[in-house]
Amino acid sequence: MSVMEATYPTPPGSIAFPMIGTKNVTLSWGDPVNMTGVMKSYNITYWNSSSSIIAGPVRSDNTNVTLQNLMSGFNYTISVLTVGALGYKSTSVIGLVCTSKFLIL
C-alpha cells in the first residue's frame, strides 16, 4: 500500500547521553508522541564548538545511536528530528554534550 497523504510527524523526546567517551558519544531519545508503532526514522546532525562544519545527517531507525570519530574535549551540538511518511520532517530537538578530554599522564 502506498501513502498518498500524511501529516508532519511529532518531534522526538528529549535527548539523553548514556555514554560519553573521548571520541564517541551514545545518545538516546524518547519515542515521538502519538507515533508508537508508526513507521519512522530519525536524522541526527551534529557540529562542534570550534567550527561551523556540520556532520550528518546520520539516519537511524532506532531511538539511539553512537556518533564516532569525534574530537576529544570538544562541545558538540546535536540535533535529532523525526522523518515520517512522504519524507515529512518534524522540528528538531537539541542536545549539548562535551566529549571527555584525553589525558596523558
* Burial group, residue 70, by CB count within 10 angstroms (0-12, 13-18, 19+): buried
pTM score of the predicted model: 0.88
Q: Where do the structural domains in the chain lie, given as residue ranges?
A: 15-98
| Phi/psi at 102 (5° precision) | -80, 120
Q: Print pLDDT tens along the chain (105 aa).
A: 566 777 899 999 999 999 999 999 999 999 999 998 889 999 999 998 777 667 888 999 999 999 999 989 999 999 999 999 899 999 999 999 999 987 666
CATH number of 15-98: 3.40.1800.10, 2.60.40.420, 3.40.50.720, 2.60.40.10? Answer: 2.60.40.10
